[in-house]
Amino acid sequence: MSYKSHRDFFEVLDKEGELARVKKEVNWDVEVGAIGRKVYESSGPCLLFEKIKDYPAGFRISNGTTGTWPRVALAMNLPKNTSVRDIYATYEKRLEKKIPPVTVGNAKAPCKENIMLDDKVDLYRFPAPMIHEGDGGRYIGTWDAVICKDLETGWQNWGMYRFMVHTKNWLTGWPQSTSQFAFIFNRSYRPLNKPMPVAVVLGADPMSHIIATAPIKPFEDEAACVGSFRGKPVDLVKCETSDLYVPAHAEIVIEGEVMPDRIAPDGPFGEYPGYRSGTMSNGIAVKVNAVTYRNDPILTMIALGTPPDDSSIAASLSAAVAMKKGLLRHGVPVTDVYVPPEGVTHLIIVGVKKGGAEIAKKVLDYFTLRRIMTNKHIVVDEDVDVFNMGEVLHAFATRCHPGRGIFYEHYEGRSNSLTPFYSPEERSKLKGVSVVFDSTWPPEWPPEIVPVKASYKTIYSAETQAYVEKNWKSYGITKK
């Protein structure tokens, strides 16, 4: 069943038994976050909180729209039980195609049903949740898509970055200094000391948010990627106070300007690695000039934290497919890349046709070239199913030589400061280190000395297996 907007998608989830509507009044202050967390940790449904304390009926909060593989499959219009391998393959294929967006007028854009402008702007009219006890503020932007524009080329980038309510008309946030948001600000606006228009979009088509987590290359149009997933163009509409274009069916759009010379506190926040660590007050401040929203808006929250949740699942998909493409371009004979959600994009599994030290070093080289979000990489041979962590662990334990098979690289200025094990000093300088665990057989070993995997499929000949299969029933073993 297909859907047009975030809102329609809840109908799909409802029909598939993947949605729980919470009708009892709940508190935006910690209670919705706690419920969301508990439900993630028991692989529960997507949540729609329908009555929020302090807020009028109709103002709703969701949690976990695509927080499990079955719900990601549904967002991609695939059957709910599609395997992770097939979800990856479909995602990779659809990302190859682009369907450019179309623009519509305000009359055809539900996100313009209500418009709050200038001194009417009051972010406290929305039930922005205090997600975790002790967070630095009310994070209105968790499952968002943040749009800004490069002046020279007109390219509008989408990315997912955290934003909290600072005051009734200021947001603070923390797109990392290595993000494309920062890239655009630094090249287009910083030199002119000009404010940068920005739109924080909540509740667009679910694929828009997944694509916002994807490391799509600079100057590529994320809206056209989303179009390919939908099989038809995305409707975009112009902002009220800037020439940014936003998804017309979004629930809430916050329009503002990043100040080039003003800052205010952001964070700390319980983040995607599964911790609240010391990344705070090192971001940006946004003066809000307008908020437009649908009637009865749904604020799309994710109670971010330990995996799995929407973040670790989306990143598993969007990061892995980008890495596979990048590694292939870099000359690594990749078969598949898997980003296990439990490894929160810190741990990456790379399957290769041919392994060895040279390839392992190439893998390390690729992962340390530009902005660095990862730190541990396990390279395995083709016979290992990268999606099966049991097989990956077995290969790591038995094929990675602790003296010869581990390669490091240190760097500065481009690490991921959210990495929990970095010291305050390393974080402040974006210093880091990455490692590759070469868990492949050395290609220089003659084939006849390579240890043979002692599994049914690999250590018995085809004849033996065929013989056993033929006689299976006669053994009287009921479990096949």
Ligand X SMILES: Cc1cc2nc3c(=O)[nH]c(=O)nc-3n(C[C@H](O)[C@H](O)[C@H](O)COP(=O)(O)O)c2cc1C
- Residues that bind ligand X in the complex, under the rule CB under 6 A: 142, 157, 159-162, 174-176, 179-181, 213-215, 272, 302, 304, 311, 314-315
CB of 267 to Mn ion, least distance (A): 22
Complete DSSP assignment for 365-385: HHHHSSS----EEEEEETTS-
Nearer to ligand X, 113 or 220 (CB): 220
- Given the DSSP bridges, would you call strands 102-103 and 245-247 parallel, antiparallel or unpaired? unpaired
Nearer to other proteins, 89 or 264 (CB): 264
First to last CA, the chain: 36
272 binds, among Mn ion, ligand X, other proteins, none (CB under 5 to 8 A by kind): ligand X
Q: Where do contacts with other proteins occur on this chain (CB under 8 A)?
A: 29, 54-55, 124-125, 127, 130, 132-138, 165-168, 170, 177, 182, 185, 190, 258-265, 268, 270, 276-278, 280-285, 424
Which of 357-374 are b and which e, b meaning 16 or more Cβ less than 10 Å from the residue's Cβ?
bebbebbbbbbbeebbbb
CB of 396 to other proteins, least distance (A): 31
Q: Where are the alpha helices (DSSP H) in 400-442?
A: 424-428
CB of 107 to other proteins, least distance (A): 31
CB of 298 to other proteins, least distance (A): 18
- In the numeric block, the tokens 């662990």 are attached to 393
Enter the tokens of residue 236.
């975009």
Largest CA distance in the chain: 82
Residues 109 and 361: their CA atoms lie apart, in Å, by 50
Output the CA torsion sign for 283, 284, 285, 289.
negative
Are 168 and 286 a contacting pair, CB within 8 Å? no
CB of 280 to other proteins, least distance (A): 6
Nearer to other proteins, 421 or 456 (CB): 421
177 binds, among Mn ion, other proteins, ligand X, none (CB under 5 to 8 A by kind): other proteins
Q: Which of residues 142-181 bind Mn ion (CB under 5 A)?
A: 157, 159, 180
CB of 82 to ligand X, least distance (A): 21
209 binds, among other proteins, Mn ion, ligand X, none (CB under 5 to 8 A by kind): none
CB of 53 to other proteins, least distance (A): 9
Q: Is 464 helix (H, G, I), strand (E, B) or coil?
A: helix
- In the numeric block, the tokens 């994070």 are attached to 139
Nearer to Mn ion, 160 or 252 (CB): 160
Nearer to ligand X, 169 or 213 (CB): 213
CB of 159 to Mn ion, least distance (A): 4
Are 129 and 33 a contacting pair, CB within 8 Å? yes
Residues 267 and 132: their CA atoms lie apart, in Å, by 11
Enter the tokens of residue 1.
């069943």
Residues 14 and 166: their CA atoms lie apart, in Å, by 34
Residue 404: partners with Cβ closer than 8 Å, 6 or more residues away: 357, 438
160 binds, among Mn ion, other proteins, ligand X, none (CB under 5 to 8 A by kind): ligand X
Q: What is the DSSP letter of 29?
A: B
Residue 134, sorted as left (phi over 0), alpha (psi -120 to 50) or beta, turns out to be left
String of contacts with Mn ion for each residue 210-249, x by CB under 5 A = ------x---------------------------------
CB of 225 to ligand X, least distance (A): 12
Residues 438 and 305: their CA atoms lie apart, in Å, by 30
326 binds, among Mn ion, ligand X, other proteins, none (CB under 5 to 8 A by kind): none
Nearer to ligand X, 70 or 159 (CB): 159
By beta-carbon distance, which residue lies closest to ligand X? Answer: 159
CB of 199 to ligand X, least distance (A): 14
Return the H-helix or E-strand segment holding 93: helix 84-96
Nearer to ligand X, 312 or 439 (CB): 312
Nearer to Mn ion, 146 or 334 (CB): 146
Residues 124 and 169: their CA atoms lie apart, in Å, by 9
Nearer to ligand X, 169 or 179 (CB): 179
421 binds, among Mn ion, ligand X, other proteins, none (CB under 5 to 8 A by kind): none
Identify the CA nearest to 245 among candidates 355, 363, 156.
Answer: 156
Residue type, 477: I
Nearer to other proteins, 102 or 192 (CB): 192
> Which residues sit at the interface with Mn ion, rule CB under 5 A?
157, 159, 180, 216
